[in-house]
Amino acid sequence: MGLEIIKFMKFKENIKKILSNDAGFTMMEMIVALAVFSIIIVSMTSITFSIIKAQRKSFALQNSQEVSRYILESMNKEIRMSLINSDSGSGVTVLNITNANSETFDYQFDNSNKRLLRNGQVVSPDNIELTGSFYITKDTFPYQVIVTIVMKVDSTKSKIEQKAEINLQSTISSRL
């Protein structure tokens, strides 16, 4: 019986130690954990915003490239298969051509309104600003006309991260 009492007393002491043990976090440990957690959350938020900003810039650049590529390719195709009526010159804003159907019309860079016109009709969409000029070279022998188109395309988005600027140049030799 004496041995059982000793075992019971030791068991009772162990229970008291377990119950009285202050096994928790101190205030300092909580503050340090909260600070580390806050730093991680703030840096992840910053990275997320940077990625979103870069994605918007990428979309604006992609849109400007698609629009400018379409305009330039359309002009190239039409100029290549047309007779160039404009005189030689550099920095010309109006190009007069006669196409294969004997239709005469002008391509004009309206640099003040930042638009491209074809026979007075706006060709460029509203979401971009387009400025540029034509450089026309006419050789007499063999007769060959070379037209160089220089364009600057800007997106008209209101936010700076959505703006895109592209400079393009294309040289076309008339086949007529």
The answer to whether residue 66 sits within a structural domain is: yes
The predicted-structure confidence for 142-166, as pLDDT tens digits, reads as follows: 788 999 999 999 988 767 777 888 9
Please report the pLDDT score of residue 169 as a whole number: 94
**Does the bond joining 142 to the residue before it have cis omega, within 30 degrees of 0?**
yes
Residue found under tokens 């909580």: 30
The pTM of this model reads: 0.71
The answer to whether residue 7 sits within a structural domain is: no
The answer to whether residue 15 sits within a structural domain is: no
The predicted-structure confidence for 16-51, as pLDDT tens digits, reads as follows: 776 666 667 788 989 999 999 999 999 999 999 999
Which range of residues forms the domain containing residue 32?
Answer: 27-173
Confidence label for 60 from pLDDT (cuts 50, 70 and 90):
confident
The answer to whether residue 8 sits within a structural domain is: no
The predicted-structure confidence for 62-118, as pLDDT tens digits, reads as follows: 988 999 999 999 999 999 999 999 988 888 999 999 988 899 999 999 999 999 999
The answer to whether residue 117 sits within a structural domain is: yes
Domain count across the chain: 1
Please report the pLDDT score of residue 117 as a whole number: 94
The answer to whether residue 12 sits within a structural domain is: no
The answer to whether residue 65 sits within a structural domain is: yes
Please report the pLDDT score of residue 159 as a whole number: 77
Q: Are 124 and 110 in contact (CB under 8 A)?
A: no
Side by side, the strands of the sheet bearing 144-155 are 89-92, 128-139, 144-155, 165-173
The answer to whether residue 10 sits within a structural domain is: no
Q: Distance (Å, rounded) from C-alpha 166 to C-alpha 162?
A: 13
19 CB neighbour count, 10 Å cutoff:
7
